[in-house]
Amino acid sequence: MRCVFMKRRKRDAELIDVILSDCETLAKRIDHFGSTESSFVCDRSEEGELAYDAIMSPVYRIAEDALHLSDEVQSAFPEYPWNDIRGFRNFVAHGYREVDRSLAWKVIVDDIPELEKALRIFKERQS
Q: What digits encode the pLDDT tens for the residues 46-64?
A: 999 999 999 999 999 999 9
For 69-85, write each residue's pLDDT tens digit: 999 999 999 988 888 88
Degrees, nearest 5: CA angle 8-11-17: 140
Return d(Cα 116, Cα 121) in angstroms, integer: 9
For 81-120, write each residue's pLDDT tens digit: 888 888 888 888 887 567 899 999 999 999 999 999 999 9
Report whether 33 contacts 54 (CB < 8 A): yes
**pTM for the full model?**
0.90
Q: Where are the domains of the chain?
A: 2-126
pLDDT number for residue 98: 79
CA-wise closest residue to 21 among 124, 121, 116: 116
Q: Is the pLDDT of residue 17 over 80?
A: yes
Q: Is the pLDDT of residue 5 over 60?
A: no
Return d(Cα 40, Cα 28) in angstroms, integer: 15
Mean pLDDT for the stretch of residues 19-27? 98
